[in-house]
Chain A
Amino acid sequence: MAQAQVPEYVRVVEELFSKYKEFVYVGKYIQRWDAVAKITGKALFTADFLKFYKDPVYVYTVRPKYAHAYIKSIDTTEAERYPGVIKVLTAKDIPGVNDVGYVIPDQPLLADKKVRYIADPVALIVAEDKYVAAEAAELVHVEYEPLPVITDPLEVVDLKTLKEKEHVRIHEERESDIISHFKIRKGDVEKAMKEADVVVENEYRTGMQEHAYLEPEAAIAIPEADGGVTIIATTQCPFDVRKAVARVLGLTQNKVRVVVPAIGGGFGGKEDVVNEIGAKAALAAYYTGRPAVVIHTREESMIGHSKRHPMVAWYRHAAKKDGTLLAVEANIVLDTGAYASLGPFVAWRAIVHSTGPYKVPNARVDTLAVYTNNVYAGAFRGFGNPQVTFAFELQMDALAEELGMDPVDLRLKNILREGDRTVHGQLLTKEHGVGLEETLRKAIEVIDWYRKRKEYSQFAEGTLRKGIGLALLWHGNSIGVEGADYSSATIIINRDGTITFRTGLTDFGQGALWGLVLIAAEILGVPPQLFRIEPPDTSSTPDAGPTVASRSTVMGGAATMNAAYKLRKRINELAANMLGCSPDEIVIRAPEKEDVKPSDVEVFCSSDPSKKVKWTDVVEQSFWDGVPLQEFGFFRAPKAEWDEETGQGAPYVTYTFGTMVAEVTVDIETGAVKVDRMVTAYDIGRVINRVGAELHAEGGAIQGLGYALMEEIVHDKNGVVRTYNLSNYYTPLVDDIPDEIIPIWVEAGFKRGPFGAKGLGEPSIVAIAPAIVNAINHATKHRFTQIPLTPERIYLGLKKAGKIKL
């Protein structure tokens, strides 16, 4: 990009990146703003607001008996006569548009012609009491004409030819049940395959993972006097909820207000489902004129919200004798379930990352997302990248084995470094910050890779085997070409010197908003304790885009920087006037103490520190002098590029890089796996919120361990979910975690990120599963290719291969 074209808001970020080398708040251990509220039980989550609404109505969703069927008729009379029932709503009662599809309009709020998965909403019971509502649901009589149920995406498409097969159509209103098809075409793959010394070819499968955030979905809708509605909801994306609800109710967006209180986890799952339940609550409020609530039970949550896309993939890698990669070929099929949700975007992110952070001169990749009658799949931390990373990192180990090379050496031969081009032809420069090699070298040093790799190959103690494995990752920051990539934040300095911070980004546990406050505090010189983060509210916080794609710190941080930068400039000028020195000499500093007050903050001249005033005096003066102390900051990521036919371009502004290492002990007779130790080394450009970063490294690894070893939503052949609560869907508990997780941070600054920062939210899960499975494969001397790699799968796999006798 030529210098002249760089917008002012990008220039500000670049200027601050080169200016700041030392930090007072950024990268330090600072307690998040809401910690006390959360540990005392005072923090209010959505359902907690019910204690303030004494007379709400309860909304319960009637769901089908079949995962795939035409609806012949719906008879609600009996349910309506049930005592305590106020109203039963069906599709015909929707005043606006009956659709809550996220990327494409394929998902009715209430089904009227057809149901496509086992939890597809058919009607809503609105009742005085939640028990009444659930009871009455059984009295809604729906006549169905059942259709054959498809739970395997390979019944829709052929993995080899990628052609759609003959099958009972799921979305007959669309041209095809293949919703997206992305491509990478680069070089001459056939020629490369012929010239290769080694070719490895495998099929990989990954499971459908459930977010299992501890707080199930909830929304409360309160009718407003002007016909509008206020919605309290546990959503990552309040502006998306507003848009969806306005559409369903036929209201303008300014009549729908969405407020977001504390959120009990999201991981990508609290995106579109909240549009759906927000609309349901709003509909009930519209018809009853009373506050209306939807609170999912865990069962409703498990069957009724999006999941991580299961993947089936065929990969072929070709290399020279010395390990140099020549070509990658892959057919990747993602099962998006009954509705597209964010499927097309997930498929796009999957293909962008599909060949890994390596130099790949020739490539042919096709990625398809297809409908089935499974619960729909959408956004989940990693967003298509964990699936393909599992495949290509197992391929790399398979290749290393064929070549007789150490997995580390093979990777060192091929990884992306500064000056290299990605498979899309994107040149990686110093501006991007390319710290992949450093993550790899540091990780293997800390874990003592070469020694253990040798030692564990020989290890056999009774039925126990040990292994060590690794996996590398790259993860494009923010949303690339998926959508309008903007963000914003507002900083308001109050007359008492405290600060109000507002953004439409949300905090669902990750602590991202705290990172933004640390950035603002760094620039303003005012300690973070003096900031208050307003809950996101579509009526008073500016639209900041969705809180997805690890974009809060990078995009929100850059917007915050812009607001703080402008404020600091004005304050410097004002203080310079008051003190009689030049504006760039102004220093704002606070004493280091936990209960710091605004009047403790000092403003002085660096040339003569005796010239000083209190921060509160400067603030007061600004009101008299007419210097506004409210500021809005905006940021828009540079446009991404992607050629639909060849996959060439510059899909993301930059990439987070990482190296994960896992050590495991496997009992080959029971298939039980203990992950003993992990190293997670990330290049995130710059650590902004150190506590948050560490928690992500730990939390992402634990969730990734679940993905690798135990977590899977299982449908039976009728599309009925067999794993519908935490009693049969297993997530890691305290006994399952590794003995230790060692975090390593590499800070290869990104020129257009706040102080150089890149995202970490999603990368923290991306390469955990392949690291663990590569370690298991090392331990068992077997090539497992499917996750979750349960004890049963390990046992049966080894038995079939004749590696155990039992």
Chain B
Amino acid sequence: MAFDPSRSWDTYPDIEITLNVNGKNYKVKVKPYERLIDVLRYKLGFTGVKEGCGRGECGACVVLMDGELVPSCLVLAVRANGKKIITVEGLAPEGKLHAVQKAFLDTFAVQCGFCFPGFAIAIKHLLDKNPNPSEEEIKEAISGNLCRCGSYYRLIKAAKLASEYVRQGKIYFDVKR
């Protein structure tokens, strides 16, 4: 390969985009090749969004983009320009837990926890569309998320429990400690 300084990634121009993340507007300069996950994590500090594979295979990085579930590792930041993004940090107001998160606690589901932001978003997405999902629908909704520690049984149980909370109108819970 011949040496060509003009090929360097560094020489691409910055593009300014606007993102609405968890209800707040941000203006950020990004490179055309930058991924949404990196902008969320490193430029805006939403490190609840996790990278497990970078290929859309593990679900750790999923966010809601205008209400749709997307792996943020596969979305270029420029494509998210003007969109509304919800990450795990935006599921509940500061100091509160969303029903899904409360259900994770109630089922003692947490192990290493690296997968939980992704599962939380995937289940929230399911409940937004379908507040009373069957076990099959729950499994379908989280079939793109890997939990290598193997908390699946509890995650299924938690999704059921969260749907009950939501149907009872209990969306937010106080955090005890």
Contacts and interface: CB of A to CB of B under 8 A. Distances in A.
Contact of A264 (B1, B3, B113, B120): B113
Interface stretch (A9-17, A75-83, A337-345, A622-630): A75-83
A39 B156 contact: no
A734 B152 CA distance: 6
Contact of A39 (B3, B60, B116, B143): B116
Contact of B55 (A83, A264, A695, A726): A726
Given A51-B47, A265-B149, A509-B111, A83 B54 contact: no
A39 B41 contact: no
Contact of B112 (A263, A594, A726, A741): A263
A298 interface: yes
Contacts of A733: 143-146
B114 A735 contact: no
Contacts of A38: 110, 112-113, 116
B97 A36 contact: yes
A123 B76 CA distance: 30
A75 to B, nearest CB: 12
Contacts of A500: none
A297 B45 CA distance: 20
A298 B52 contact: yes
A131 B68 CA distance: 28
Contacts of B60: 214
Contacts of A480: none
B104 A39 contact: yes
Contacts, number: 202
Q: Is the interface of A mostly helix, strand, loop or mixed?
A: loop
Contact of B148 (A84, A212, A297): A212
Interface stretch (B5-13, B77-85, B126-134): B5-13
B7 to A, nearest CB: 8
B142 interface: yes
A266 to B, nearest CB: 8
Nearest to A266: B112
Nearest to B96: A40
A733 B91 CA distance: 24
Contact of B89 (A41, A50, A128, A509): A41
A695 B49 CA distance: 24
Contact of B152 (A511, A529, A737): A737
Given A51-B47, A264-B114, A703 B148 contact: yes
Given A132-B8, A214-B50, A727-B57, A36 B45 contact: no
B8 to A, nearest CB: 4
A529 B11 CA distance: 52
B139 interface: yes
B5 A214 contact: no
B87 A695 contact: no
B177 A39 contact: no
B9 A84 contact: yes
Contacts of A48: 41, 47
Contacts of B176: 594-595
Contact of A139 (B3, B49, B150, B154): B3
A373 to B, nearest CB: 26
Contacts of B143: 733-735
Given A81-B3, A129-B9, A698 B113 contact: no
Contact of B52 (A40, A84, A216, A700): A216
Per DSSP, are chain B's interface residues mostly helix, strand or loop, or mixed?
loop
B47 A214 contact: no
Interface string A130-146: 01100100110000000
B48 A511 contact: no
B146 A214 contact: yes
B115 interface: yes
A43 B60 CA distance: 14
A699 B10 contact: no
Contacts of A266: 112
A262 B149 contact: no
A700 B149 CA distance: 8
A82 B117 CA distance: 38
Given A39-B113, A510-B111, A699-B111, A131 B9 contact: yes
A806 interface: no
A327 interface: no
Given A264-B112, A698-B150, A83 B8 contact: yes
Given A39-B113, A214-B58, A695-B111, 20 more contacts: A35-B110, A35-B113, A36-B177, A45-B50, A47-B41, A47-B47, A139-B3, A213-B114, A213-B148, A214-B60, A214-B149, A215-B112, A264-B52, A264-B112, A509-B111, A698-B154, A725-B53, A726-B58, A734-B142, A737-B152
Interface of B: 1, 3, 5, 7-11, 33, 41-42, 45-55, 57-58, 60, 87-89, 91-92, 97, 101, 104-105, 108, 110-117, 120, 139, 142-156, 175-177
Interface of A: 29, 31-32, 34-45, 47-48, 50-51, 78, 81-84, 128-129, 131-132, 135, 138-139, 211-216, 262-267, 297-298, 508-511, 529, 594-595, 691, 694-695, 698-703, 725-727, 731-735, 737, 740-741
19 contacts: A36-B177, A38-B113, A39-B101, A39-B110, A40-B88, A40-B91, A41-B88, A41-B116, A42-B89, A81-B5, A215-B50, A215-B114, A216-B52, A265-B114, A701-B150, A725-B57, A734-B143, A734-B152, A735-B143
